[in-house]
Amino acid sequence: MRLTWAFGLLAGPWTTILAAKNHQTATSDAITSAAEPTYTPDDLHIAQDPMQMGAMPASNADSSPRHRQEKAHLMKRMSRKHGSWGTSHPRYRLFEALWGFSRCRDRNVAELEKWRRLYQNVGKKQKKTLERVVDYKQKLDDVEELIFENFMICKDIVSTAMQYYGVTQQELDKHIKEAEEAGRQVDSYSPGQTLKHFVRDWAEQGAKERADAFPCVLSTLSDLKGDVSKGASLKVLLPGSGLGRLGHEVSSLGDFEVTVNEWSMFMNVAYRFLETRTTTRSFALHPFIDGMSHHATTSDMLRKVTVPDRSPDPSVLLVEGDFNTAFADQGGQYDIVVTHFFIDTARNLMSYFDTIKFLLKPGGKWLNFGPLLYGTGPFVQLSLDEIIAVVEEMGFEFEDIGSECGSLTFEDKKVRSTEAEYGFNTKALTKNAYSAQVWVATRK
């Protein structure tokens, strides 16, 4: 799952930037009616120690044998005694994510203070007009209050993760202290992007983006399971799953045993938090207050988003780690691999192809949906026609798929194209969309 959203996504191949028009003014409940929060400096940086919290909700994720087995494997990988300690060790990456969520308020406040300093450059007469007409200073004060509300969610994410992974406050504090004494900069950007992924995957406000991709994927999977005998389940793997909504929708189809996979610890700790939310709309956040651009109204910018819009499915299993290595002992065990907005995140695209082939049973299906927006420093960057040729050479055969997945990209090939938005904020005065490429290929 990509964590690369900025206020204007860099336009790559097949990316369109369109202006949104005729937005309606949002309702006035964008800001909650709670009294202004009071807090001490220590409250802002220290997560509640889960070892002292009797009311922490338990995750539903350990209820089946395969969940318990994977949790045991995960905790073994998370041990400092497992493997070489360093920046790629899963426990180190966990600490980095918890550090980021613990400090996410700092980045937003720093940006807010910059806006306030810049506002001082406005002339007195101009400022009087702004204060009389739009109350600009109050707008910035409102942002500050909502930054704190978002930070409370980040603190809950940290506390839940500490309980799930068995991290003590002392252990986390030690990591943060050593990092800050060494002059390292915390990743305070990724937490904000993770909150936006809650919108995309688990809020009503993300329904439009999900509707661009999910019907095609789910309809195709329904067709693929048509020949399954009654009572049998197909094993499906979704790598690069982010916060996992697509996997939960696949599970809802029935007859699928769903495994999702994600590398980003920012995504994984947020997912562990989500797993504890057994009721809908159980928490709220304000994901669009970190930037002033592309808002039709201030209410749009400040608006509250409630999450989740449906309860997570406890049967879905998350396997954390690198897609190329996390399933090294599961060759030929999957009926279907679904790559949704994933393959262009590869450092080595060929390794992804090799892993997909390795994991699929003979006759297994690979369903792809997504763009070709390559990231930083990829070893190889292939055009679509080159991907088709390489995949066929590796022993895959492309199949016909339905027109609900778009029109044919090439008249003589079986790959289809459909527009898919990727931007989190459907009320923004900009639109980012890809011509997503869709195919089903069978491993011979």
pLDDT, average across residues 368-396: 98
The CA distance from 391 to 174, in Å, is 47
Residues 6 or more apart whose CB falls under 8 angstroms from that of 363 comprise 442, 443, 444
End-to-end CA distance of the chain, in Å?
Answer: 28
pLDDT of residue 3: 53
pLDDT, average across residues 401-425: 95
Of 44 and 87, the structure prediction assigns the larger pLDDT to 87
pLDDT, average across residues 301-306: 98
Fill in the DSSP letter of residue 24. P
Whether the pLDDT of residue 391 is over 50: the answer is yes
For 399, how many CA atoms within 13 A lie in the half-sphere containing its CB?
17
pLDDT, average across residues 60-65: 72
Read off φ and ψ for residue 362, nearest 5 degrees: -55, 130
Whether the pLDDT of residue 9 is over 80: the answer is no
pTM over the 0.75 mark: yes
pLDDT, average across residues 241-257: 98
The pLDDT mean for the chain works out to: 89
Among 202, 198, 206, 207, CA closest to 309:
202
Secondary element (H or E) of residue 334: strand 334-340
**Cα of 279 vs its chain's centroid, Å:** 20
pLDDT of residue 26: 36
CATH class for the domain made up of 15-22+58-443 = alpha beta
pLDDT of residue 225: 87
Radius of gyration of the chain (CA): 23
DSSP 237-263: EEES-TT-HHHHHHHHTSSEEEEEEE-
The structure tokens listed for 412 are: 């003589």
Fill in the DSSP letter of residue 185. P
Whether the pLDDT of residue 370 is over 80: the answer is yes
The CA distance from 145 to 118, in Å, is 20
pLDDT, average across residues 62-70: 90
pLDDT, average across residues 189-200: 96
Tallying the residues shown for the chain, one arrives at 444
pLDDT of residue 229: 67
Beta strands in 122-270 (DSSP E): 234-239, 256-262
Whether the pLDDT of residue 18 is over 60: the answer is no
pLDDT in tens, 164-179: 999 999 999 999 999 9
Among 255, 230, 259, 232, CA closest to 247:
259
pLDDT of residue 1: 62
Q: Are 263 and 321 in contact (CB under 8 A)?
A: yes
pLDDT, average across residues 16-44: 36
Domain parsing of the chain, residue ranges: 15-22+58-443
pLDDT of residue 25: 34
pLDDT in tens, 257-303: 999 999 999 999 999 999 999 999 999 999 999 999 999 999 999 99
pLDDT of residue 424: 84
Whether the pLDDT of residue 15 is over 50: the answer is no
The CA distance from 308 to 273, in Å, is 11
Helix segments in 253-342, DSSP class H? 265-275, 298-302, 323-326
The structure tokens listed for 116 are: 């306030």
198-222: buried (b, 16+ CB within 10 Å) or exposed (e) per residue?
bbbbbbebbeebbebbbebbbebbe
pLDDT of residue 195: 97
Whether the pLDDT of residue 10 is over 80: the answer is no
Q: Are 417 and 435 in contact (CB under 8 A)?
A: yes
Tokens 């360093």 correspond to 86
Fill in the DSSP letter of residue 175. H
Angle at 375 between CA 423 and CA 353, to 5 degrees: 105
The structure tokens listed for 258 are: 């769903």
pLDDT, average across residues 361-387: 97
The CA distance from 154 to 283, in Å, is 11
